[in-house]
Amino acid sequence: MKILEYLSFKNADTFKKEKGVAYLPTSKLRVNTKYIICLKHMNDSRCQFDSGSKHAAAHFIGEISGYKLTNPDVSIKEGKKKKTYRGIVQLKRWASLPDIDVMWTPKSSTMHYKDISNLSDMGIDETSLEWQTFGTTEDEKDLSLIVKESEAAIAKKLNLESDQIKLTIEIVNLKVTL
């Protein structure tokens, strides 16, 4: 199982307000990831944790339901405009973690992936987690669910079975690695 560790100055309340773990570079998001584990970034001036908290302690886990693109950041480098796309990691459910030390390996990025057999490999007892649903609005639906609902509606309108309709979405002029 693949998990994403993300070093963030944000707390769970902010993730809820932003409707997911927000504004990660889409070039680094992978669709085959089951969980995101957020670690406390105590070295960021915007830190939302108590000053006595341990840097890089895991405090939040979310089960990933999908990804949503946000507006691109536009920066100018060497006289050329460059768009950097960011995304929100959408969640089915989430739980607080009791400041677990997950052996953060400092890298140049605040996010990296790990392959693990199960959450206990990271010192997390999944049976003791108090999972909470993240809440889904129409805007937060996983794209695959929206496509399935659209296929069913088109099939009904044409008096066909839903498995006779297949929608394909083409995103033009956008490079995103998922």
Give the whole-angstrom CA distance, residue 20 versus residue 12. Answer: 9
Same domain, 101 and 165: no
Is the pLDDT score of 21 beyond 60? yes
pLDDT at 115: 83
Query: Is this model's pTM higher than 0.95 or not?
Result: no
d(CA 53, CA 56) in angstroms, rounded, equals 9
CB 111 within 8 A of CB 7: yes
CA 155 from chain centre, in angstroms, equals 32
Residues 38 and 98 in one domain: yes
pLDDT in tens, 60-89: 999 988 888 776 666 566 666 666 777 888
The string of pLDDT tens digits covering residues 102-149 is: 666 666 678 878 888 888 888 888 889 999 988 655 555 566 677 788
> Rg of the Cα trace of the chain?
19
Half-sphere exposure of 175 (CA within 13 A, CB side): 5
Residues 177 and 98 in one domain: no
Helix, strand, coil shares, percent, the chain, to 5: 20, 35, 40
Strand ranges inside the chain, DSSP E? 2-8, 21-25, 33-40, 57-69, 73-77, 80-84, 86-101, 111-115, 132-133
Q: Are residues 70 and 107 in the same domain?
A: yes
Tell me if 26 sits within 8 A of 71, measured CB to CB.
no
For residue 90, with 0-12 CB atoms within 10 Å meaning exposed, 13-18 middle and 19 or more buried, which class applies? buried
pLDDT tens, position by position, 148-158: 888 889 999 99
**Whether residue 157 sits in one domain with residue 124:** no
Residue 45: give the domain boundaries: 2-136
Residues 125 and 148 in one domain: no
Question: Token pair of 62, please?
Answer: 């979310």
SS3 call for 154: helix
As for how many domains the chain has, the answer is 2
